[in-house]
Amino acid sequence: MPRHRPELLDFFLTRRSRPAKTLVAPGPEEAELKLLLEAALRVPDHGKLEPWRLIVLQDAALNRLADLVRSLGPKAGLDAAKTEKQADAFARGVCVVAVVACPKASDKIPASEQRDSAAAACMSLLSTALATGWGANWLTGWAAHDRGFLTKGLDLAAGENLVGFIHIGTETTTPPERPRPDVAALTQWMDR
């Protein structure tokens, strides 16, 4: 049925994230990661505004962010277990790419569409990493929505938002398939 490269359709029909907590070192080396990022940012972008940017988090940066969660979480009302779960996601991270939405002033392109393009960049990086044999997972969590964390930890400007932390590493287990949507029930075919 596919016109060419049926393995690509097979990848998308079976694509499955790998839970971040099951990923271990090594992650991609710098040269390979740069290629993954180049592929990932080939996303639809209405008006060519490039309303996104990436922050590659590795090594000491991940420990620093874990410590920041431990200091800010309780003040933000997170209980001890939730704080540690959020901190642990950074502490055990191998390579984490933060995808930041940076809306640009535009009379034509609504901010929501610009954010959509940033989400597309997340999905694109997730797929690129999985397709090239890495384990990968798109997470957000409390930290992604806490302005204090985003400012202190990642130096985000006031108008910027965190759309996803894309964890990339070596997979240790293949998770079982999860329930998938009933595509027929969710699809309306309209021909008039």
Ligand X SMILES: Cc1cc2nc3c(=O)[nH]c(=O)nc-3n(C[C@H](O)[C@H](O)[C@H](O)COP(=O)(O)O)c2cc1C
What are the residues binding ligand X (CB under 6 A)?
A: 16-17, 137-141, 164
Work out how close the CB of 182 gets to ligand X at its nearest, in angstroms, rounded to a whole number.
Answer: 15
DSSP string, 23-49: EES----HHHHHHHHHHHT----TTS-
Contact criterion met (CB below 8 Å) for 86 and 78: yes
CB distance 143 to 153 below 8 Å: yes
Minimal distance, residue 15 CB to ligand X, in Å: 6
Nearest to 33 by CA among 132, 105, 112: 132
Which of 71, 140 has the CB closer to ligand X?
A: 140
Question: The tokens of 131 are what?
Answer: 């397709």
Q: Give the total residue count for the chain.
A: 192
Closest distance between ligand X and the C-beta of residue 191, in Å?
A: 30
Closer Cβ to ligand X, 139 or 168, answer by number = 139
Q: Which residue is nearest to ligand X (CB)?
A: 17
Measured from the CB of residue 128, what is the shortest distance to ligand X in angstroms? 13
Neighbours of 190 (CB within 10 A): 4
Q: Rounded distance, CA 128 to CA 122, Å?
A: 10
Beta carbon nearer to ligand X, 106 or 131: 131
Q: What contacts 113, CB < 8 A, 6 or more positions away? A: 46
Beta carbon of residue 46, minimum distance to ligand X (angstroms, whole number): 20
Q: What distance in Å separates the CA atoms of residue 122 and residue 41, rounded to the nearest whole number?
A: 9
Q: Which is nearer to ligand X, 21 or 53 (CB)?
A: 21
47 vs 141, which CB is nearer to ligand X?
A: 141
